[in-house]
């Protein structure tokens, strides 16, 4: 069983496909740290207003690729915990790794989302979760270091409150995940009721990908995440195994 790593990300915006990480904080068994990154582009004022990280603060910081390999080595040893990490933190980190030539394999990783579990039970924000579960104000919201400590504390309080402290990892992952089974990290494609990959966006929501291949090819030409595109290509253009030779293929 893997230990749990709690992490939080602040970025230039909220789109995993196009935005860049400016701060990453982790906390887990044997791993504690915070990184600031130069995103290689101006940080929009709206983003700075939320997380208080300015261009000047990261001007002399390394870009993500400088630490990508070391960070990947840490993350692959853990199951993951965060607040709303399924929708943002995991997808944007996957994209950053991919740009560095690292294809992050999550097939053996459990993802625990304290935000989703909270919404299932209480439907609030992280600040409200801290107040509800921990009985204190979360005064430093949107600082990754503060948020990761708050999420860790909320998670432990949730496990105690809902009698999940002794639950197995599969139960915890199911309790803190969305009902839909995602094909890609961003949830643009999910497993449909008939078991087929199905669009989860726009006018084709609920339509199997193979029933509207044109929309899939349109997505490949637009600004969707590389993870989404990778799965789309696998669905639209599957690699078929070679057929066994027939009698007519014999050389003699």
For the stretch 95-107, pLDDT in tens is 999 999 999 999 9
Classify residue 241: in a domain, yes or no. Answer: no
Residue 232 — very low, low, confident or very high, per pLDDT cuts 50/70/90? very high
Classify residue 251: in a domain, yes or no. Answer: no
- Do 169 and 196 lie in one domain? The reply is no
Classify residue 68: in a domain, yes or no. Answer: yes
Classify residue 244: in a domain, yes or no. Answer: no
- Do 167 and 193 lie in one domain? The reply is no
- Do 22 and 91 lie in one domain? The reply is yes
**pLDDT tens track for 166-218:** 999 999 998 898 778 999 999 999 999 999 999 999 899 999 999 999 999 99
In the prediction, which pLDDT does 242 show? 57
Nearest-angstrom CA–CA distance, 232 and 242: 22
- Do 90 and 166 lie in one domain? The reply is yes
Choose between 69 and 30: higher pLDDT: 69
- Do 157 and 205 lie in one domain? The reply is no
pLDDT at 248 over 70: no
In the prediction, which pLDDT does 36 show? 98
Under a CB-based contact definition with an 8 Å cutoff, are residues 154 and 134 in contact?
yes
**CA 177-116-128 angle, 5° bins:** 165
- Do 134 and 10 lie in one domain? The reply is yes
Put residue 162 in one of left, alpha, beta given phi > 0 → left and psi -120 to 50 → alpha. alpha
Classify residue 220: in a domain, yes or no. Answer: yes
- Do 118 and 27 lie in one domain? The reply is yes
In the prediction, which pLDDT does 251 show? 43
- Do 218 and 109 lie in one domain? The reply is no
In the prediction, which pLDDT does 178 show? 77
**pLDDT tens track for 105-153:** 999 999 999 998 988 887 678 999 999 999 999 988 889 999 999 999 9
- Do 127 and 221 lie in one domain? The reply is no
Question: pTM, whole model, 2 decimals?
Answer: 0.70
In the prediction, which pLDDT does 49 show? 93
Domain that holds residue 101: 4-175
State how many domains the chain has: 2
CATH of the domain at 64: 3.30.420.10
Classify residue 139: in a domain, yes or no. Answer: yes
- Do 58 and 149 lie in one domain? The reply is yes
């Amino acid at each position: 069983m893997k230990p749990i790593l709690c992490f939080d990300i602040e970025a230039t915006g909220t789109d995993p496909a196009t935005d860049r990480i400016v701060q990453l904080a982790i906390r887990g068994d044997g791993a504690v740290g915070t990184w600031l990154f130069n995103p290689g582009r101006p940080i929009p004022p709206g983003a700075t207003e939320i997380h208080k990280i300015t261009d000047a603060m990261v001007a002399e910081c390394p870009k993500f690729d400088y630490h990508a390999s070391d960070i990947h080595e840490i993350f692959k040893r853990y199951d993951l915990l965060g607040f709303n990490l399924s929708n943002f933190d995991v997808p944007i980190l996957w994209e950053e790794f991919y740009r560095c030539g690292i294809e992050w394999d999550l097939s053996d990783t459990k993802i625990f989302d304290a935000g989703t579990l909270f919404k299932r039970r209480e439907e609030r924000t992280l600040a409200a979760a801290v107040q509800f579960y921990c009985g204190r104000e979360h005064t430093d919201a949107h600082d990754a270091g503060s948020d990761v400590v708050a999420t860790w504390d909320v998670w432990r309080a949730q496990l105690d409150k809902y009698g999940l402290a002794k639950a197995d990892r599969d139960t915890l992952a199911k309790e803190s995940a969305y009902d839909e089974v995602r094909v890609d990290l961003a949830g643009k494609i999910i497993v449909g009721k008939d078991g087929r990959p199905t669009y989860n966006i726009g006018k084709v929501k609920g339509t199997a990908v193979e029933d509207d291949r044109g929309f899939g090819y349109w997505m490949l030409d637009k600004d969707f995440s590389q993870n989404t595109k990778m799965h789309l290509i696998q669905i639209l253009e599957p690699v078929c195994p070679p057929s066994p030779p027939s009698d007519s293929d014999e050389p003699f």
